[in-house]
Amino acid sequence: MHDPRVLLDPATDAARKLARRGFTLDVARLERLSAGRNAAIRKADESRAEANRLQKSVKGASLDERPAIIEKAKETRAQITLAEEEVKLLEAELNEYLLEIPNLPADELPDGASDADAELVRTWGEIPAVEDPQDHVDLGEKLGILDLGRATKLSGPRFAVLKGRGAALERALSRFFLDRHTERHGYTEWSVPTLVTRPTMTGTGQLPKFEQDLFRTEVADRELFLIPTAEVPLTNLHAKETLAAEELPLAYTAHTPCFRSEAGSYGRDTRGLIRLHEFSKVELVRIVDPARSRAELEVLVGHAEAIMQELGLAYRLVRLAAGDIGFSAEYTYDIEVWLPSQGTYREISSCSDFGTFQARRAGIRTKAKDGTRGFAATLNGSGLPVGRTLVAILEQGQQPDGNVRIPEALVPYTGFDTLTP
């Protein structure tokens, strides 16, 4: 969420920046709402000042003067009530528009609006030479670890059932991710709810824009949403709080199920584990000093990359184009893993710097020892999604004899180093 004064400041160049991501800023509307709200606040303040003056003048007034002063005070109190109602209405209208405006993309991002416009930062690992590669669905079914038919029977399309060593591998991956992030990378693990309120979803930017992408439930007139990522509850742990600036950065992680309706993705990745309605993921969230947010993003990306490297998975890191970053982001890296069956790299982790955008929406403030106050910056990234990592392990680890080799780092967690048909 933005400060309207910043958006209207010519130095911010907000209209140009937002145009890079395909959003047209209605400057006239913003000016009208902001000016109207400010005028209503001034009117309410002036009426309060007049009411205070009249209250004081009653004490020194004569008996003949008092009735008129008291009547004037009643009229002024009525004006205060009207002015306060006007402030509320205009404030609500202004905030409703501000909630629709995405974050300003960083100038360093390349132009463009698709993954084809992303800028390559680096590659890691040797692309495995796989003759006649099979995709993860065929591999999973031959190995006896994946059952999409029964998943569809249970829940419909875009769900998956893993069994036997497949379920064990899924469990091993989540434990491996959490151990590395907590023991080596300094993250505090949390166990958080997967059902959250509308204000919680609004705080990180999922609402109001992406309501169609969310699963919503209402029981006994209580509205709750299933989280699309642990970013939502982890970031909002500090909603409406003031954090000591010297205690930053805060580094949090959680393993949760995630739920997405994939409303705009019909026809894309309908086969297998890449795009499901329910999947599990280990998320990384950092709450930091805004002056250090970009440096902290490099730290976070490094933690996700360390997992990829320890698993021995070939990948590349790209910087997303200004028109392809998420609604709340101002700067995003994607880690893309090589999938032999597709002969290309596919996103496995998205790591973003949100600046103070989410903190303003959620009310996450900071206070320094010298009394200086402000908003925190927030960052998040996948560290990693369990399903897509499993896909990459199956495809990059497939052998000519039909077996799949398990990364050495996972063997202490799985108890086996090979999946066999």
Contact 47, 54 (CB under 8 A): no
Task: Give the mean pLDDT of the chain.
Answer: 94
Non-local CB neighbours of 330 within 8 Å, separated by 6+ positions: 103, 104, 105, 106, 352, 353, 354, 355, 357
Instruction: Please tell me whether 380 is known to bind a ligand.
Output: yes
pLDDT, tens digit (0-9, with 9 covering 90-100), for 380-395: 999 999 999 999 999 9
pLDDT, tens digit (0-9, with 9 covering 90-100), for 86-109: 989 999 999 999 999 999 999 999
265, pLDDT greater than 60: no
205, pLDDT greater than 60: yes
**Where does the pLDDT of residue 61 fall: very low under 50, low under 70, confident under 90, or very high at 90 and above?**
confident
What's the CA dihedral at 143, 389, 149, 277 to 10 degrees? 170
* Residue 264 pLDDT: 59
Q: How far apart are CA 208 and CA 316, in angstroms?
A: 33
- The one-letter code for the residue type at 291 is A
Contact 356, 380 (CB under 8 A): no
How confident is the model over 11-33, as a mean pLDDT?
97
Instruction: Please tell me whether 155 is known to bind a ligand.
Output: no
- How long, in residues, is the chain? 421
Q: What angle do CA 223, 353, 266 make, to 5 degrees?
A: 55
How confident is the model over 254-282, as a mean pLDDT?
86
Instruction: Please tell me whether 330 is known to bind a ligand.
Output: no
218, pLDDT greater than 80: yes
Burial bucket for residue 83 (CB in 10 Å: 0-12, 13-18, 19+): buried
Q: How far apart are CA 187 and CA 379, in angstroms?
A: 13
How confident is the model over 261-275, as a mean pLDDT?
75
206, pLDDT greater than 60: yes
Range of weakest confidence among 61-65, 132-136, 146-150, 198-202 = 61-65
How confident is the model over 330-338, as a mean pLDDT?
98
Give counts: helices (H), strands (E), the chain: 13, 18
- Residues tagged active-site: 260, 275, 347, 350, 388
* Residue 262 pLDDT: 80
Q: How far apart are CA 46 and CA 418, in angstroms?
A: 77
**Where does the pLDDT of residue 162 fall: very low under 50, low under 70, confident under 90, or very high at 90 and above?**
very high
CATH code for 115-419?
Answer: 3.30.930.10
Q: Which of 20-34, 39-53, 68-82, 250-264 has the highest mean pLDDT?
A: 20-34
Instruction: Please tell me whether 347 is known to bind a ligand.
Output: yes
Predicted TM-score of the model (pTM): 0.92
* Residue 267 pLDDT: 58
Instruction: Please tell me whether 350 is known to bind a ligand.
Output: yes
**Alpha carbon distances (Å) from 298 to 104, 160, 187, 286, 302:** 19, 33, 15, 11, 6
For β-strands 250-259 and 188-189, DSSP reports them as parallel
Q: What angle do CA 203, 206, 208 make, to 5 degrees?
A: 90
Query: What is the full DSSP assignment across 209-274?
Result: TTGGGSEEEEETTEEEEE-SSTHHHHHHTTTTEEEEGGGPPEEEEEEEEEE---TT-TTSS-SSSS
Task: Tell me, rounded to whole angstroms, the distance of Cα 133 from its chain centroid.
Answer: 34
Q: What residues does 346 pair with on adjacent strands? A: 337
pLDDT, tens digit (0-9, with 9 covering 90-100), for 392-403: 999 999 999 999
| Sequence spans of domains, the chain | 26-100, 115-419
Instruction: Please tell me whether 230 is known to bind a ligand.
Output: yes
67, pLDDT greater than 90: no
Q: What residues does 258 pair with on adjacent strands? A: 279
Q: What angle do CA 303, 308, 312 make, to 5 degrees?
A: 140
Instruction: Please tell me whether 260 is known to bind a ligand.
Output: yes
**Where does the pLDDT of residue 226 fall: very low under 50, low under 70, confident under 90, or very high at 90 and above?**
very high
- The one-letter code for the residue type at 31 is E
Q: What are phi and psi of 112, to 5 degrees?
A: 125, 170
* Residue 71 pLDDT: 74
**Where does the pLDDT of residue 415 fall: very low under 50, low under 70, confident under 90, or very high at 90 and above?**
very high
Alpha helices in 61-164 (DSSP H): 66-98, 136-143, 148-155
